[in-house]
Amino acid sequence: MTRRAAAQKVTGLSSIVAQVEDNELTRACDDYLAYLRVEKGCSPLTSESYRRDIEGYLETLAGLGVTGLSGVGHDEVTAHLAALLERELAPASIERAMAAIRGFHVFAVREGLCAHDPTEAVRARRRERPLPNTLSQAQVTALLDQAFEETPVGLRDKALLEVLYGCGLRASEATGLDLSNLLFEEGYLRVCGKGGKQRVVPLAGCASAALMRYLSAARGELHPKRQTAPTDGSAVFLSVRGRRLTRDAVYKLVSSRARCVGIDDLSPHMLRHSFATHLLDGGADLRTIQELLGHSDIATTQVYTHVSRAHLREEYLSTHPRANIRR
């Protein structure tokens, strides 16, 4: 399958074609989005976000009368950046849009579609990345040791929460787990992360015990009400109808169970952040945490050093006898 054919199949560029006549830019966009999906292995959500970002960019260029890559220069890219700023988008949305546009032009140069990259000298103001929100170890204990019902759903919820925190998984990674990914004898989970990258993470202690109990006593009880609707035979975590649990369902489940112990606005990703922060507090090195989280860049993992330092300062100020004495 050619890149262009793949793009038409997986990205649905009909809205671009309807608004901007087929030209060199739209054809290059087709190829780039196919490259992201087919060769880079970007997730459908990432591909869709980039598609919308580049669609907006092409509309700006069309409004400026630009139909070819050679007609795009610094001024045109800056004009689009200014349009994004005028819309008062979130800094993260502007940063992502510019990343998509830079990637598009880098791809075009590499493929020989144009001679220069007009985004080289364009720099959007980098946003300050907020420190991730985490739970204290006491809060995690309250969450995981609450009184779960001795029902299939209760055992499933307990196992899911233990695995999310005990293995540091994203919600999508937990819902994507298949029975073949569980390596109990070796003490590992095989996880498929962003971009289809696989990694193994340790499975031990409370997470292993809760997962084994769910599989032996509860999973088989989660099945469709209609005999004609088959249970998902490969998924680890099932809904009450026997289907693979969805990402949205995981978010609702985590939030609901957290509210039972007085924790508001808890997300699966906060459990992942807590996993990393508690490991660092316990003495784990940054490279190990990077491997466990599946980060391709150590810089992404380094945010937890800032969280840990903030925690250390709070502990110092609250416990040292002379920390808050002013003379």
Q: Give me the active site residues, please.
A: 170, 194, 269, 272, 295, 304
Q: Between the CA of residue 95 and those of 50, 123, 184, 194, 273, what are the distances in Å?
A: 12, 10, 41, 19, 22
SS3 (DSSP) at 170: coil
Cβ-Cβ contacts under 8 Å for 59 (sequence gap 6 or more):
19, 20
Q: CA–CA separation, 179 vs 86, rounded Å?
A: 49
Give me 301's structure tokens.
Answer: 């993992």
Q: CA–CA separation, 239 vs 60, rounded Å?
A: 44
CB atoms within 10 A of CB 281: 16
Give me 94's structure tokens.
Answer: 């502007």
DSSP 253: H
Q: CA–CA separation, 84 vs 25, rounded Å?
A: 20
SS3 (DSSP) at 272: helix
**Residues pairing with 235 in the sheet:** 178
Cβ-Cβ contacts under 8 Å for 196 (sequence gap 6 or more):
41
